[in-house]
Amino acid sequence: MRMRIRGRCWLVGDNVPTDAIVRSHLITRPMDEIRRHVLEGLNPRFPLEVRTDDVLVAGRHFGQSSGRAIAVRALKATGVGCVVAESFARTFYRNAFEMGLPILECPGITGRVSEGDVLTVDLEEGLVIDETTGSQLQAAPIPPFLRRMLEAGGIIPIARQLAEGTDR
Amino acid sequence: MNLVEKILARASGRARVTPGEVVVADVDRILLHDLSCYLTARVFEEEVRQPVCHPDRVVVVFDHHFSPPTEEQARMLQENRAWARRHGFHLFDCGSGNIHHVALHAGFIRPGTVVVGSDSHTPVHGTLGCFATGLGNYSHAALGLPFGKAWFRVPELVRIELEGTTGLGVTPRDVALFLTGQIGEGGMVYRALEFAGPYLEGLEVFDRWLFPLITVDVGAKSGHVQPDERTLSFLAELTGERPEAVRGDGDDVAEVRGWTVDGLEPQVACPPTVGNVHPVTESAGVPIQWAELGGHGGGRLQDIRLAARVLRGRRVHPQVRFNVVPSSRWVFTQALREGLVEDLHRAGATWFPPSTGSNQAINMGALAADETMVSTHARNFPGRNGGGRMYLASALTVAASAVAGCLADPREFVR
């Protein structure tokens, strides 16, 4: 897992539900179709223009409502390199680490970065650097257990390590 | 230690745990519904492929389909059945009822245990004094099924104390909606909630149920009621066996917040979110085309009794379709015995099989863009049931609105 991500900033607000990341009627569609509709109700340009390693910046309680893993898979499929938010809904938080989508909790980020800014996210140091404005924000540290999961690429590799006894 | 800490310490084999640390704990019960079962099975069989550690702890309930409307959904349920049977899980097929009601009625939920599930309303089992929370399918597939474990960040506990007496036409559901609005979506992110106080303790178990149910909507990890005499006698009657109760020590609480229910009006969560809660009087008169009793929080016997109070001697408005979805077969049996099935049927309501009803419009309840529904469901986010707008309310308000043809104050119907 790369611990440094650089890309353009996309913004969404507070309390974004998983229903808005992937609408319910799309859940059973192929991922190639789903990814072209991610967050379209909130930011119609996002699914059309998002590029690999772009950074999605959200407000409080991102990914609330149903804990559907497809919301994380769909975001990964768009190429988003990292999601930074004031806070996450806890099911989204779990799913992101378990499926290897880098996320950072960064209280105070709302209003400090603008859409289109170039951001560098340093997962190791928990830093969000806005290269467009030169400002820098300190995120909450990732707990060691979850850092290990992130480095392994998710919870499945952790399960394999447990099964093979290579964990001990 | 508080109740959550005691349960997590026991389950992770530690003397004590403290908020913020991550523990790996033994899981006593894994609940999967038809949608999450399918997704979990795919991850498990394709990426994990280990033996299942404790198949008897896994409960599968088909609750989003009382009957599959398409061949694709029928195939999905067949795969779920085969998977559940192959591993020896408990399986409750279409028509059994809502996952949480079925698990409770079958005696699978015990105080002091760790209950997990993919459904985000799994915290409702905290009603009986469990640590219960929703996890993603990857948690179950990678740690739950093969090792009987899950990882948890130990939450801080917030105690919510409720006191006072509600007036005529105001139900526990109105109080729960009011609290969601007061605390706000995401107002309790990562925290555990303890529902307490004389109002809460005076409620029967299935009315207490409505409070741990809201924990996900305010962002909390779990919500519980400390088991008391009422909890233990409820379980003794249900299972024929009186369980040991684990209780927290009462001191390790990060915050205490209190509300009175005195003078509260009937409440409605308005579109577009569960936290957009207002007195029904502010929305009275909004035309509706659909009304429903059902979902995780509705379709209880209590809801059906409340609706019957409004509907006896009245008719559902000709512009409204009123769907009634019992939360379990037990509820339907009781409703039959009490004559409620006939009462609602005669008034023009339509009975549906026990299930989760129109949640996500998997097998019923899709809305056209210009339609509005009022229901006892737990969610009203746009896109969840197709187009349309969704209001969430008590069974009394739902029934009163079904009669009026528009959102209505139930107090005018239960004088």
Could you tell me the CATH number of the domain that includes residue A143? 3.20.19.10
CB < 8 Å to A163, chain B: 50, 146
Say how many CB pairs under 8 Å bridge A and B: 117
Domain boundary among B259, B279, B294: B259
pLDDT < 70 positions in chain A: 1, 166-168
Domain boundary among B259, B294, B312: B259
Give the residue among B345, B265, B330, B331 at the shortest CA–CA distance from B302.
Answer: B331
Facing residue for B190 by CB, picked from A23, A90, A158: A90
CB contact under 8 A, A67 and B134: yes
Report pTM. 0.92
pLDDT given for residue A141 in this prediction: 86
CB contact under 8 A, A20 and B275: no
| Domain shared by B238 and B105, yes or no | yes
Q: Is B360 on the interface with A (CB under 8 A)?
A: yes
Q: Is B276 on the interface with A (CB under 8 A)?
A: no
| Domain shared by B280 and B375, yes or no | yes
pLDDT given for residue A67 in this prediction: 76
Number of domains in chain A: 1
Q: How far is B219 from chain A (nearest CA, A)?
A: 6
Model ipTM over 0.85: no
Q: How far is A132 from chain B (nearest CA, A)?
A: 31
Task: Give me the percent of chain B exceeding a pLDDT of 90.
Answer: 88
| Domain shared by B330 and B205, yes or no | no
Facing residue for B189 by CB, picked from A61, A70, A156: A61
| Domain shared by B232 and B324, yes or no | no
Q: How far is A134 from chain B (nearest CA, A)?
A: 31
d(C-alpha B397, C-alpha B374), whole Å: 9
Residue span of the structural domain in which B314 resides: 268-412
| Domain shared by B396 and B282, yes or no | yes
| Domain shared by B285 and B364, yes or no | yes
Q: How far is A147 from chain B (nearest CA, A)?
A: 12
| Domain shared by B24 and B121, yes or no | yes
DSSP state of A86: S
CB contact under 8 A, A156 and B138: yes
Interface test with B, best of A37, A73, A91, A101 (most B CBs within 10 A): A91
pLDDT given for residue A166 in this prediction: 60
Q: How far is A81 from chain B (nearest CA, A)?
A: 20
| Domain shared by B128 and B186, yes or no | yes
List, as ranges, residues 239-258 from B with C-beta within 8 Å of A.
none
Number of domains in chain B: 2
CB < 8 Å to B118, chain A: 67
| Domain shared by B94 and B199, yes or no | yes
Domain boundary among B259, B286, B301: B259
CB contact under 8 A, A66 and B120: yes
pLDDT < 70 positions in chain B: none
Are B109 and B24 in contact by the 8 Å Cβ rule? The answer is: no
Residue of A nearest to B141 (CA): A156
Q: How far is A31 from chain B (nearest CA, A)?
A: 14
pLDDT given for residue B133 in this prediction: 97
Q: Does A141 sit behind a cis peptide bond, omega within 30 degrees of 0 on the bond before it?
A: no
Q: Kindly report the CA angle at B250 between B248 and B252, in degrees rounded to 5?
A: 95
Hey, what are A76's tokens? 């990964």
| Domain shared by B315 and B243, yes or no | no
| Domain shared by B84 and B201, yes or no | yes
List, as ranges, residues 376-405 from B with C-beta within 8 Å of A.
379, 381-386
Give the residue among B364, B391, B362, B367 at the shortest CA–CA distance from B377.
Answer: B391
CATH number at residue B279: 3.30.499.10
| Domain shared by B224 and B289, yes or no | no
- A25-A30-A32-A36 Cα dihedral, nearest 10 degrees: 0
